[in-house]
Amino acid sequence: MKYFSQFMLFALAVAVLLSLQYQYWLGDNGHFASNQLLKQIEEQQQSNDNQMAANELLRTDVHDLKTGLEAVEEHARLDLGLIKPHETFVQVSTAPITHSRYN
């Protein structure tokens, strides 16, 4: 009977140890879940950095539009096709050539 109680105590200790290991490695807040969250945080931080750079570019563009006429003229030329008096408009096509040698 003495050995049986020691065996049961040992089995209980092993069961507790295994359950704690399960919680540590595979539980809801375990090691793998923690690593996955850290990876998601890193990806979100990269996305935030990219968005902050885009926002800074937009801020400088707005500042240029508010303070200088060159930026307004550039946008009018590119977006609206502004042509000043006594200027000649030349458009260069970037379409691929579709001619064939065997026509």
Instruction: At 44, list the tokens.
Output: 């979100």
Instruction: Please tell me the predicted confidence (pLDDT) of residue 41.
Output: 97
pLDDT, tens digit, for every residue of 39-93?
A: 999 999 999 999 999 999 999 988 988 888 888 888 888 888 788 888 887 778 7
CB 71 within 8 A of CB 64: yes
Q: 11-37: per-residue pLDDT in tens?
A: 999 999 988 888 877 777 888 888 899
Report the C-alpha gap between 73 and 57 in whole angstroms. 18
The whole-number pLDDT of residue 2 equals: 77
N- to C-terminal Cα distance for the chain? 102
Q: What is the pLDDT, as a whole number, of residue 84?
A: 82
Q: What is the pLDDT of residue 58?
A: 94
Query: Within its chain, how far is the Cα of 48 from the centroid?
Result: 7
Burial of 75 (0-12, 13-18, 19+ CB in 10 A): middle
CB atoms within 10 A of CB 60: 11
pLDDT above 60: residue 94: yes
pLDDT band at 100 (very low <50, low <70, confident <90, very high): low
